[in-house]
Structures are given as C-alpha cells and as structure tokens.
Amino acid sequence: MAYKQPISVLVVIHTPDLKILLLERKGYQDGWQSVTGSREGEELLPDTAHREVFEETGLDTNRYDLADWHYSSDYEIYPVWRHRYAPGVTTNTEHVFSLEVPFELDITLAPDEHTRYRWVTWQVAAEMVFSPSNAEAIRTLAERRQG
C-alpha cells in the first residue's frame, strides 16, 4: 500500500456573497468539510488543489478564481485516518486555497468520498465543519472579504 503524504490542501469553495460549499464525508455522518486532499508525488500544491476540487466536485478550477493563500498550518492527524500514512506519522501540513465561483453550482460528488453537499452561509459553515483548521479558514475568508 502506498502511504499518503502528510502534505495536503484545503480548498474553501465559495460564492461572492460567501455561501460556502460543504461536503459530507462518507462513513462520517455530519462530518462536513471543504475540499481536502493529499499531494501526490511531487505535484505542485496548486495542482493538488486543482486535482482535488475536480475529483471531489467535478468543478474545473481553471474556469474560476483559485487563490493560493500562501498559508499553511500543522495539525494532528485524526487517529481513525493514521493508517493511511507511514508508521509514526501523526502530523499533517495543510495548505489553504479558496475558489470563488459565481453562484451556488450543482456539483458531482465522488461517491467513494462524500455522500451529500450543501451551500450554507459562512457563519453556518464555520460551525458545521468538524475540523478546527477548516473553521479557521472559513472565518479568515470572511474577515478578508469584509475587511
């Protein structure tokens, strides 16, 4: 089994009025999140963001405004998912991106990863996501847009 790299992207997909797209993880009821995924090989992080958005939503980031925040944070990998990483790896570095789309788009879910999706206000999204770093990114997006 090839292990995942402990380097990932988080892509907050949003509309101009800050409706946020959330995806529910398969096998994790009410496990809402933005698009996330690990880097593969030596791909550049914007390429990881592009690939993950397409795989998880069917959206082509080249049609919209994908922004690299040039910001990352480290977090402890949830124990339930540590088997996907090499033995002893417990921390992941997550790089944040955002993708602005013109309105609430219909998306195509990856059925092996997600069960449903919702567009919600940024305030609701920040409360719904299970990951603290995801909530922080959503709040930061709102601060950037309102400030």
C-alpha closest to that of 5 among 41, 54, 36: 41
Contact 119/113 with Cβ under 8 angstroms? no
Q: What is the pTM of this model?
A: 0.95
Strand partners, 23: 33, 117
CA triple 82-42-91, angle to 5 deg: 25
Half-sphere CA count of 17, side-chain side, radius 13 A: 5
pLDDT per position in the chain (147 positions), as tens? 699 999 999 999 999 999 999 999 998 889 999 999 999 999 999 999 999 999 999 999 999 999 999 999 999 998 988 999 999 999 999 999 999 999 999 999 999 999 999 999 999 999 999 999 999 999 999 999 886
Using CA of residue 54, residue 60, residue 62, residue 64, what is the dihedral sign?
negative
